[in-house]
Structure 1
Amino acid sequence: MVEDIANGTINATLTLPASIREELTKAMGEGDAERAAEVRRECERGQDGIMRRLWPTMQSITAIDNIGLRETLMQTVAKGIRVYSMLYGSSEALIGFNLNPIKEGYEEFVLNIRDVIFEFINEGDVYEDNPKTFLIDEVEIGKKYELVISQLWGLYRYRFGDVIQVTGFYQNCPKVKFLYRTATLLNLFGEKVDQVVITGSLAAALGNWQGVTLKHYSVTESTMVSAARANTDDKSKGAHYVFFLEMEGNDEIRQCETLIQIS
C-alpha cells in the first residue's frame, strides 16, 4: 500500500476489474512520496492510536456496534477518537436514529417511518422465497425479524438482509437492535449461527482463562483454509469451522499464533 501511494500505482496482484483498476490508477495521480513516507513511519510505530496519527483531524467514528467492539477500538487503533452509533443507515435508506448515541452499549434505533415503509419477516422464515410479512404495528418486543423496505426513491418491498430485534417502542414506533446480516451466518449444516452468538460463545469459553483477553477474531469454513494452504488436508476431518483468535495476555500467548479448529 505504501509503495502504491508513493508511486501512484495499484498493486498488480490485486484482482480487480480492468475498468475499476483504470479509475483507481487515475485517482492515484503521480503518487505522493511524502505521504507514503509518513504512512510507513506511523505504521512502524505500531497500531496503537494509528487512526489519529494518520488522520490528525479525525474527531469521531460513526458505526453500528453489535458485538461490543467500541471500547476495544477506542483503546487501540482509535485511541483518542470517540466511537458513536448515531444512525442506522445504508445506501438503500436511512433506517433509524439512536436517541442516546453517547451512552456506552446503547444500540437501540427508532425506525425512520417518515421516509421508509417497513415490513418484517420472522427470523425463522428468512430463507423462504415468499414468506409472510408483518407491518409495523404487528411486531412484538423480543422477536427477531428481517427487514423489508419500500422507500421514496424506487425500492419496493426490498428484502434488506438485516436481521433486527425489537427492543421496545418510542411513542408507538418500534425501537430495534441490529443483530446480523443473513449472508454472514455460519451455516455449514443448517445450524444458522449468527455473529452475536459466536461472539458470546467465544467470550464464555475464554471467561475462565485468567489473564487472557480476546481482542479480535475471524472465522471461516475449513474448505477455504485448505484451498489457501496447499500442505493442509482437512478432508479426513469433515467440514468444520476454523477460528483465528487474536488474544492478549501472558507471554506464552503473545509469542504464538493461535488457531482453534472446532468441528
Structure 2
Amino acid sequence: MERSSSSDDITGWFEEVATNAEKVQMEILKRILEMNHGAEYLKKWLGDIDVENMDAHVLQSLYVSMVPLASHVDLEPYIQRIADGDTSPLLTKQPITTLSLSSGTTEGRQKYVPFTTHSSTTTLQIFKLAAAYRSRVYPTREGGRILEFIYGSKQFKTKGGLSAGTATTHYFASREFRIRQEETKSFTCSPQEVIFSGDYKQSTYCHFLLGLFYSPQVEFITSTFAFGVVQALTLFEDYWRDLCSDLSNGTLSQRIITIPSIRKSVLDLIEPNESLAAWITSKCEELEGSGWHGLIPKLWPNAKYVCSIMTGSMQPYLEKLRHYAGDHLPLVCADYGSTESWIGVNMDPCSAPEKVTFTLVPSFAFFEFIPLYRPNHQPPKACDHTVAVAGGTGDNYLEDDPVPLSQVKIGQQYEIVLTTFTGLYRYRLGDVVEVAGFFKGTPKLNFLWRRKLILTVNIDKNTENDLQLAVQKGSQPLINSGAELVDFTSHANIVNQPGHYVVYWEIKGEVSEHILGQCCKEMDAAFVDHGYVVARKTNSIGPLELCVVERGTFKKIMEYFIGNGATMSQFKTPRCTTNQVLLRILNLCTVKRLRSTAYH
C-alpha cells in the first residue's frame, strides 16, 4: 500500500526539525519565554529582561543560569493558586482553564498539571507521526476500525471553577481526538458514551462487543498501557459467553450493562449476527481449552499489531500480552510521554518492546539532561566536577550540571528536565534515559526507569528498576513450575526492627511451599545494592518477606484507585506503597507468608 501524502507531510516535517534540532530547541525556548514573559514565576527569576529582542542563543544561556531546576513541589503552590481561582499570570500569560491529574500510582497521590490546547495539539501531532511510521511497516486499510481499550474519567471543577481530570480524559473529549480519526481514516469501535461511562467493567464489555461486531474491520488493538490490554483480555475470559449471546441476538446484557446512555449508544450500532456469534463461540471454546493462547489473532484475524506503552513498569505484563498475541502478532511499543509533556516517537515499530528507542521530538518542549553516575563510576574526563544538583531525588546517583539536547553523549544516562508551553520551567521529570544514538540531530532514547527512590530501610537504596530485576530473577522457579506471576508490589516495613522488605505476589496456578521458599531466597539475593547487601549481612535489615495474596487482590487495588479518581487509561500498579488502605487490602488478602534464607 502506498503511503498517503499526509504521512509524507508529517514525516517530512519531523525530519526537518530533527535535522535542525539544536536551532529548533533555541527557538522553542524563546517562544515559550516570549509567550509567558511577565508571568509571576518567571519574573521571580528573570526580572524584566527584554526576552523579545534578545538573541535566542544568549537567552538560552541566561535562562539556564538564572532559573533553578524545579520539582513539582516547587511549582505546586502556583498550580494550587490557579486551581483555587487566581487568574493573574502565575505560570503562563495564557489563561489556564483545565488541569490534568496524574495517575497518582507513582508517588501515591495525584498531582495537578496545567493542560492547554498545546497539550492536545502535540498529542494529535505525535499520534499522526507514530501512525505514519507504523504504516510503513504495518499498512492498514482506510476505513478500518481500532479496538481501543480507552476510558475517560469524570471531570470535575476545582474550587476556582477549572475543569480537572486525567490527561487522557481531556484528550478523548477533545476536538483533536475526533480529528485524528477523520485524518487517519481509522475509527475507534466505541462511541463517546462507552469511553466516558465512568464504569470500567461496563465500558470494557462494550468495547469487546463492538470490537467483535466489527471484527473483520479491526486493524489493530490498543490501550494506553499494556496493563489495560491484559486486564481487558482477562475480563474477556469471564465475559465471552455473554458477549456471544448479545452478538447473536443484537442485545445488551441487562445484568452487566445498567447505564442507560451506554445501552442506547451501543444498541444504536449493533444488530443480530448469528453466524458471527457462532464463529466466535467455536473459537472461544478452542481457546479456553488451550489457555487462551493467541486469543487476539484468532478473534481479530485482520489485526496487524497490538500497540501500547510497554516500557518501565509495564514490562512485567509483556509475557502475558505475548501469550494473548500468539506467536506471530507483533507487539508495538507506543510513544514516550508523560502527563507533563510528550517526549519521543517510536520510529521503528518492529523493535521488540524491551529494545525500543524513542526519537526525541525537539519542538514539543525545551529539553535538558542531567548526567547521572553511580558513585563507583567516574564521570567522563570532560567533566570537571560532579555535583549533587539541588532538588535531587535522594537516590545514590551523582549528578553533573544539566546539558542541552545538542551535548548529550551516546551510552550516557540522564534524567530529563522539561520547560513547556504549559508553564513548567526546568522541571525535573524523574525519568532516567540512556542515549542510544541519533536520528539526524536529535537523540534516540532508551527509557530505563523512574528515578524516584522507592525501597529503603536505612542505608539501602533500591529503585523501581532494582525491584523489577529482583522480582524477575526471583520468579523464575515459579515460572519453571508452570505457574504465573499475575502482579506484584512491595513495602519497606520499618515498624518492627530490624526493618525489612515485604514483596506481595499474586499467583495463578498451584505452587509448592518449597518453590515459593526458593523464590523468596532468590529475590532477596537479587538486590545487589551495596547498602542492602551489607545491611543484610549484618542483620540491620531483616530477611525479605514474600506474601502470596489471593486471586483478585490487585483487581481490588485497581478498583480502589479508580474509585478515587484515577482512570483505567492511566492506571499503573504501584510497585512500592506506603498507602495504608492498600496495605490493609494486601495484608487482609495474604494467604501465605515466607521469609528468605538467602543470608543464613
Give the alignment's TM-score, normalised by structure 1: 0.63
1:243 — aligned with what? 503
1:110 — aligned with what? 359
2:412 to 143, 147, 150: 143
1:169 to 427, 438, 453: 438
Of 40-49 and 126-135, more deviation after overlay is shown by 40-49
Aligned residue for 1:113, secondary structure, equals coil
Deviation at 1:103, TM superposition (A): 2.3
1:65 to 308, 311, 335: 311
Tell me if the contact between 1:167 and 1:177 (Cα under 8 Å) persists in the aligned partners. Answer: yes
Deviation at 1:121, TM superposition (A): 1.5
Could you give the per-residue CA deviations for residues 131-167 of structure 1, whole angstroms, max 9, x where no partner exists?
7211112222222211101123332212112111222
Tell me if the contact between 2:492 and 2:501 (Cα under 8 Å) persists in the aligned partners. Answer: yes
RMSD: 4.7
2:332 — aligned with what? 84
2:391 and 2:319 map into 1 onto residues whose CA distance is 39
Instruction: Specify the code of the residue in structure 2 equivalent to 1:199.
Output: Q
Tell me if the contact between 1:242 and 1:260 (Cα under 8 Å) persists in the aligned partners. Answer: no
Against the structure 1 CA distance between its residues 152 and 211, is the aligned structure 2 distance closer, same or farther, given a 3 Å change threshold? Answer: same
Deviation at 1:112, TM superposition (A): 1.1
Tell me if the contact between 2:453 and 2:463 (Cα under 8 Å) persists in the aligned partners. Answer: yes
Tell me if the contact between 1:99 and 1:109 (Cα under 8 Å) persists in the aligned partners. Answer: yes
1:196 — aligned with what? 465
2:475 and 2:449 map into 1 onto residues whose CA distance is 23
1:126 and 1:174 map into 2 onto residues whose CA distance is 25
> Counterparts of 1:32-43 in structure 2 under 5 Å?
42-43=237-238
1:220 to 463, 481, 490: 490
1:48 and 1:155 map into 2 onto residues whose CA distance is 45
Instruction: Specify the code of the residue in structure 2 equivalent to 1:197.
Output: D
Tell me if the contact between 1:216 and 1:246 (Cα under 8 Å) persists in the aligned partners. Answer: yes
Of 179-188 and 90-99, more deviation after overlay is shown by 179-188
1:175 and 1:236 map into 2 onto residues whose CA distance is 46
1:99 — aligned with what? 347
1:186 to 437, 455, 459: 455
Tell me if the contact between 1:217 and 1:243 (Cα under 8 Å) persists in the aligned partners. Answer: no
2:410 and 2:593 map into 1 onto residues whose CA distance is 39
Could you give the per-residue CA deviations for residues 170-217 of structure 1, whole angstroms, max 9, x where no partner exists?
223221111222336323335332233333233344557782466344
Against the structure 1 CA distance between its residues 90 and 126, is the aligned structure 2 distance closer, same or farther, given a 3 Å change threshold? Answer: farther
Tell me if the contact between 2:344 and 2:360 (Cα under 8 Å) persists in the aligned partners. Answer: yes
1:229 — aligned with what? none
Instruction: Specify the code of the residue in structure 2 equivalent to 1:239.
Output: G
Against the structure 1 CA distance between its residues 243 and 88, is the aligned structure 2 distance closer, same or farther, given a 3 Å change threshold? Answer: same
Q: Which has the higher contact order (CA 8 A, sep 6+)?
A: 2
Larger Rg: 2
Instruction: Specify the code of the residue in structure 2 equivalent to 1:74.
Output: R
Tell me if the contact between 1:143 and 1:166 (Cα under 8 Å) persists in the aligned partners. Answer: yes
2:429 — aligned with what? 160
Tell me if the contact between 2:452 and 2:463 (Cα under 8 Å) persists in the aligned partners. Answer: no
Aligned residue for 1:137, secondary structure, equals helix
Could you give the per-residue CA deviations for residues 211-257 of structure 1, whole angstroms, max 9, x where no partner exists?
2466344232243xxxxxxxxxx74442221112345676537x984
More strand by share: 1
Of 78-87 and 101-110, more deviation after overlay is shown by 78-87
Task: Note the residue ranges of structure 1 that are not aligned, 5 or more in a row.
Answer: 1-19, 224-233
1:201 and 1:73 map into 2 onto residues whose CA distance is 21
1:75 — aligned with what? 323
Aligned residue for 1:200, secondary structure, equals helix
Deviation at 1:109, TM superposition (A): 0.8
Deviation at 1:97, TM superposition (A): 1.1
2:479 and 2:339 map into 1 onto residues whose CA distance is 43
1:123 and 2:383 equivalent? no
Against the structure 1 CA distance between its residues 200 and 172, is the aligned structure 2 distance closer, same or farther, given a 3 Å change threshold? Answer: same
2:309 and 2:337 map into 1 onto residues whose CA distance is 9
1:202 and 1:42 map into 2 onto residues whose CA distance is 27
More helix by share: 2
